[in-house]
Amino acid sequence: MISYEPLRGTKDYFGKEAYEIEYIINSFIEVAEKAGYTEAITPLIEQFELFSLKGGEELRKTMYVFMDKGGR
């Protein structure tokens, strides 16, 4: 049976709660842009090595690791 529960450490937001979060994000972006900062959008996933080399054992225990078809 398929589980529709969010992954551990994640949460779905709907309705008023989603609107409030979006408002906070947009307010922060506006303030940051006025201060001369620009937005950076990074990938949702990264190479395992990026975090495994610098992060501690505790970080590695909480990571989700996926292998591609090439075994990487």
61 confidence band (pLDDT: 50, 70, 90)? confident
Domain parsing of the chain, residue ranges: 15-62
Average of per-residue pLDDT values in the chain:
87
Q: What is the pLDDT of residue 60?
A: 76
Q: Characterize 28-66 residue by residue with b for buried, 16 or more Cβ atoms within 10 angstroms of its Cβ, and e for exposed.
A: eeeeeeeeeeeeeeeeeeeeeeeeeeeeeeeeeeeeeee
pTM above 0.85, yes or no: no
Q: What is the pLDDT of residue 13?
A: 95
Q: What is the pLDDT of residue 52?
A: 76
The encoded tokens of residue 50 equal 């990026």
Tell me the per-residue pLDDT of 35-55, one tens digit each, with 9 for 90 and over: 999 989 988 888 887 777 777
